[in-house]
Amino acid sequence: MHAIFILWLREVKKYTRSRAQIVASLGQPLLYLLVLGFGLGPVFQQAGNGSYLQFVAPGVIGMTVLFTSVFSGIALLFDRQFGFLKETLVAPVPRIRIMIGRTLGGATVAMLQGTLIFVVCLIAGFRPVSLSSIPLGFVFMALIAIVFAAFGTAIGSGLQDMQGFQLIMNFLVLPIFFLSGALYPLHNLPKVLAAVTRLDPLSYGVDGLRGVLTGRLMVFGTGTDLLALTLIAVVLLIFGAWRFSKIEI
Amino acid sequence: MIRVQNLVKKFADFTAVNDVSFAVPRGEIFAFLGPNGAGKTTTIKMLTTLLPPTSGRLQLNGLDPIRQPNEVRQQFGIVFQDPSLDGDLTAAENLELHGVLYHVPRKVRRERAEILLKLFELWDRKDTLVKKFSGGMKRRLEIARGFLHTPKILFLDEPTLGLDPQSRNQLWTHVKRLNETEQVTVFLTTHYMEEADRVAHRIAVIDHGRIVAMGSSQELKRQTKTESLEEAFLALTGTTIRDETANPSDQLRQVAQMWRR
């Protein structure tokens, strides 16, 4: 238990110490929120879908949690580069605990970052339907964070260099974001696109987050979203732990 | 304390360690010398549970690294060839994290951390982020960390690589002192012959995965009829230069070194 806690604490400490990085990581979500939010607003309104800011804010929160958690998992690559990974692998602690500590730490950091963006959304004019919807919103944030932190760990365990990292960003993480319905509604899509969006774990996260926070009609429904995310989280945690156990230095 | 019998490690196309046997008694400083690619690091990796051997028997303090990895890990401390500290944490936090991972009770780990940081002259920098440390300070901290959980065995894999003579001198002084006061068995590798000559009780020379000679510095010199350990080493291993192809971890090491500047 202590080992899990200290590795979790390490992730959180590193996050709270990297002020410059926190500010920098606000840039992208702000662009989506403000430029897309206000830029696409009029078109969205005319199409009869209501306020785009209101629509896109949960998507941007989901995106932030996605990027932060995947990145924290892939940070394994940096620990490998700077050697710290070896220190944890020769320690008399089963690898599964090391993996869980790191992953929970990464998920916590993603939650903190998501909360920060949530506050930014509120300042920009986003209004949740009710205060009581917020706790369930955080449950969804937590599930997205765990799913993608485990996903990041699974990928980071196999990465050897920076080129691989670029590949993952462009061919896995960005598609996960663009196919999730974070930026556009998943209703009435072409069949192929609709099918692909249903394979994307983040679709369920964004759908849940948006449905809960804004009260909009959901694509899948709260129950389905919770179930799907929980199942995916379990599968990815097991997969990530297995991949982590296979690391050779 | 360390017992190795007929140890073999084969990778796909070559044999890195070929039928190596040796034993290191408690409290001894044992040096493992050899040219690049001779199998030193591979042997250390197998002893420290990072790599499973192809065949042969290993024992550390009577425990088997393959069947009891976590018990074995509790027995030793290790300083790797390249740094393994977390630069975003302070010196004290690095030690704290290590202490927790090695199940050192809170009170003991605070006390040991203070003693070791003072010994390695890092106490007044304990709350500085490690990334602001010089190379020598990082090495000292790593060795201090290796001692934190009072290991029975300390592995040092080229611990003085890239250090200035002052830091090297100081480092070996500390290692020798802790070897004497805490009866720690030390297993080291280095490319600096005069270091091995100075600190090691016994030396094994390994080349192409085989041990070609073993004994005290005196015995090796007598055996090869040479004046210095360096000459003895060259007499045993020849003068050809070993070129290794860089594997991904070497490339990473280069990148990491670039980033650090």
**Residue A117 banded pLDDT, cuts 50, 70, 90:** very high
Tokens 């986003």, residue located: A126
Q: What is the pLDDT of residues A77-88, one digit of tens each?
A: 889 888 899 999
Q: Per-residue pLDDT for A33 more than 80?
A: yes
Q: Is the CB of residue A246 less than 8 Å away from at least one CB of chain B?
A: no
Counting residues of chain B whose pLDDT is more than 70, the rounded percentage is 93
Residue B2: enclosing H or E segment and its boundaries? strand B2-10
pLDDT value of position B244 = 61
Is A191 an interface residue toward B (CB < 8 Å)?
no
Which of A72, A87, A95, A160 is the best residue to mutate to test the B interface, defined by the most B CB atoms within 10 Å of its own CB?
A87
Predicted confidence (pLDDT) at residue A50 exceeds the cutoff of 90: no
Q: Does the beta carbon of A22 lie under 8 angstroms from any beta carbon of chain B?
A: no
Residues of chain A with Cβ-Cβ distance to B100 below 8 Å are 2-3, 5-6
Q: What is the three-class DSSP state of A94? A: coil
Distances (CA, A) of B79 to A151, B155, B169: 31, 6, 17
Residue A49 structural domain: 2-245
User: What is the average per-residue pLDDT within B187-193?
Assistant: 90
Average pLDDT over residues A12-34: 89
* Mutation for testing the B interface, residue in A16, A80, A82 having most B CBs under 10 Å: A82
Q: In chain A, which residues have their Cβ closer than 8 Å to the Cβ of B74? A: 92
B252 part of contact set with chain A, CB < 8 Å: yes
Q: B19 touching A, CB under 8 A?
A: no
Q: Which residues of B touch A81 (CB under 8 A)?
A: 252, 255-256, 259
Instruction: Compute the residue count for chain A.
Output: 249
- Which of A138-152, A168-182, B139-153 shows the highest mean pLDDT? A138-152
Give, in order, the Cα–Cα distances in Å from B229 to each of A13, A187, B194, B205. Answer: 48, 78, 7, 11
Asked if residue A2 has pLDDT above 80, the reply is: yes
Residue A161 Ramachandran class (φ > 0 left, ψ -120 to 50 alpha, else beta) = beta
Stretch A167-193: mean pLDDT: 91
CB-based contact (8 Å) between B248 and chain A?
yes
Report pLDDT for B249.
Answer: 62
Query: Nearest C-alpha of chain B: how many angstroms from A240?
Result: 19
Domains recognised in chain B with CATH numbers: 2-260 (3.40.50.300)
Q: In the prediction, which pLDDT does B250 show?
A: 63
Dist. CA B141–CA B96, nearest whole Å: 12
Interface of B with A in 22-81 (CB under 8 A): 45, 48-51, 70-74, 78, 80
The lowest-confidence range among A161-175, B13-27, B103-117, B229-243 is B229-243
By DSSP bridging, strand B153-157 and strand B15-24 are: unpaired
**Strands across the sheet with B202-207, in order?**
B76-79, B153-157, B185-189, B29-33, B202-207, B210-215
Residue A146 has pLDDT above 90, yes or no: yes
pLDDT digits (tens, 9 = 90+) for B220-239: 889 888 888 888 888 888 77
pLDDT of residue B14: 85
Residue A154, classified by CB atoms within 10 Å of its CB into exposed (0-12), middle (13-18) or buried (19+), is buried
A93–B101 CB contact, under 8 Å: yes
Q: Which among B70, B78, B252 is the nearest to A92, CB-wise?
A: B70
Asked if B102 and A91 come within 8 Å (Cβ–Cβ), the reply is yes
Q: What is the pLDDT of residue B251?
A: 62
Residue B261 pLDDT grade (very low, low, confident, very high; cuts 50, 70, 90): very low
The residue-averaged pLDDT of A144-157 equals: 95
DSSP reduced 3-state for B16: strand
pLDDT, tens digit (0-9, with 9 covering 90-100), for B41-61: 899 999 999 888 999 999 999
Average pLDDT over residues B181-210: 91
A200-216 pLDDT per residue, tens: 999 999 999 999 999 88
Higher-pLDDT residue of A194 and B243 is A194
Looking at the partner chain, which of A5, A18, A84 has a beta carbon nearest the beta carbon of B86?
A84
pLDDT of residue B106: 94
Is B139 part of the contact surface with chain A (CB cutoff 8 Å)?
no
Cα Rg of chain B (Å, integer) = 18
Q: What pLDDT band is residue B247 in, cutting at 50, 70 and 90?
A: low
The total number of structural domains in chain A stands at 1
A248 has a chain B CB within 8 A of its CB: yes
Asked whether the ipTM of the predicted complex exceeds the cut of 0.90, the reply is no
Structure tokens at A160: 């050897």
Q: What is the percent of chain A where pLDDT is above 70?
A: 100
CB contact under 8 A, B50 and A86: yes
Cα separations in angstroms, A213 against A49, A52, A181, A182:
16, 14, 15, 14
**Sheet with B2-10, side-by-side order of all strands:** B15-24, B2-10, B55-60
pLDDT in tens, B5-40: 999 999 888 889 999 999 999 999 999 998 888 889
